[in-house]
Amino acid sequence: MADCQAGGRGNRRKKLYRTPGFQQRCWLVRNGVPYTTAMEEMSDAEVMAHSIAFSEMEGYRFNWKSMTMEQLNA
């Protein structure tokens, strides 16, 4: 029974991990934004804006046309 429950939670975690918003929020935490702020207090628009800003500080540029990040020195 415990194995079935663990498998169910594992699938849920996999879906959560693959959610783009979750990855962006983790990126913010990695860059010093407090966990509670990044995960609970910021709107999706704020998360995207901050993620783009931090990424551009690390040598990427956000392409608004394709909605993708591009490495500047590639």
Taking CA atoms, 1 is separated from 5, 10, 12, in Å, by 6, 14, 17
Q: In 1-74, where does DSSP find H-type helix?
A: 2-18, 20-30, 35-36, 44-57
pLDDT, residue 50, reads 93
Residue with more model confidence, 21 or 16: 21
Q: What is the pLDDT of residues 17-56, one digit of tens each?
A: 677 789 899 989 999 999 999 999 999 999 999 999 999 9
pLDDT, residue 5, reads 46
Taking the whole predicted model, whether its pTM rises above 0.75 is answered as no
pLDDT, residue 8, reads 55
How many residues does this entry show for the chain?
74
SS (H, E, C) 32-52: CCCHHHHHHHCCHHHHHHHHH
